[in-house]
Amino acid sequence: MSTRGGLVTRVAVDAAAAVLDGVAVRTAVEPLDAVPGLLLKREDTQPVGAFKLRGAFHAASRLDPGVRAAGLVTHSSGNHGRALAWAAARLGVPATVVVPDDAVAAKVEAMAALGARLVRVPVDDRERAADAVVAETGGVLVPPYDHPDVIAGQGTVGAEIAAQVPDVDRVLVPVGGGGLISGIAAALAGTGVSVVGVEPELAGDAAESKRRGEPVRWDRARVARTAADGLRAARLGELTWPHVEALVDDVVTVSEAAIERAARLLHAAGVPAEASGAVATAGALEHPALVGMRTVAVVSGRNADPGWVAQVLAA
């Protein structure tokens, strides 16, 4: 894996793109007519309904086959676990996902449907439980975001945006653990494109970290209040924080009302975003100054809690 100063490089992202050719969908960029000047990067159209396929498959594919044969292990509230289960099935190896007890039921069911063995634990125990599964099975951990191969895989989103929208001036990216924004920022480093993170104000640890210039951890109960379940990471990772610190221009927060408004606009336009997937678009709504001549918002996923969608669309 090519890194410079501990950061993933564009060379690594391009290498990941070669691995993912024919595996991940080269998703479309299309306008959202309700917000002039805003384009959407449709990662919700990936086979597993989210960008996570890119990082999970790339990281799994780079493992020695003998090591991989013992099984892939991760901890995830949904989209990464689903992506790793999909990757494991494609590579012909077993997968175990440690699932926190606050995970959305529909996402848990999707992981099981792909053949993953699920281990349910209290949310604060998931990393420890994943390590225990690795020790028990001899499998290998593929973390949800804090790994260079995962970051490089997610970075292919940024490389595609650069190719699809050569005059892009800003990319808005949802932030949870920071894998997606780290990869996109690495792909676009040195191009003059502004990369701005967007996260729920109820889970605004990355925005506070960026403002203070040091990683900040929020209490798990505090971040659990947001409907954007995919962005409830209580902190940036040891690897993703340096990327955010060095390569990301800013991180802004949005209200739950803005997330709901964005979801309504997206669903009306035929984009079935989950709450986390609507957050970047919410950034454009709540911070209109971010929408320049060519701004792209990443729609990160579509695997919504059906109850949340029904409630939001009925409002």
Amino acid sitting at position 231? L
Rounded to a whole number of angstroms, the CA Rg of the chain reads 18
Q: What distance in Å separates the CA atoms of residue 178 and residue 274, rounded to the nearest whole number? A: 18
What six digits make up the tokens of 56? 């999970």
End-to-end C-alpha distance for the chain, whole angstroms: 47
Q: What are phi and psi of 39, to 5 degrees?
A: -110, 150
Q: Based on the residue annotation, tell me whether 52 is a catalytic residue of this protein.
A: yes
- Other C-beta atoms closer than 10 Å to the C-beta of 112 total 16
Strands (E), 90-152: 95-100, 117-121, 140-141
Q: Do 29 and 39 form a contact (C-beta atoms < 8 A)? A: yes
Residue 163's identity, in one-letter code, is A
Task: Choose the catalytic residue: 41, 52, 107, 210.
Answer: 52
Q: State the residue for tokens 């409907």.
A: 227
Q: Which two tokens stand for residue 34?
A: 């309700």
CB atoms within 10 A of CB 222: 14
**Residue 128 identity (one-letter amino acid):** R
Cα–Cα distance for residue pair 260/262, rounded to 1 Å: 5
CB 115 within 8 A of CB 87: no
- Catalytic hit among 182, 209, 276, 300: 300
Q: Take residue 243 and report the two structure tokens written for it.
A: 């990327």
- Residues labelled as active-site residues: 52, 300
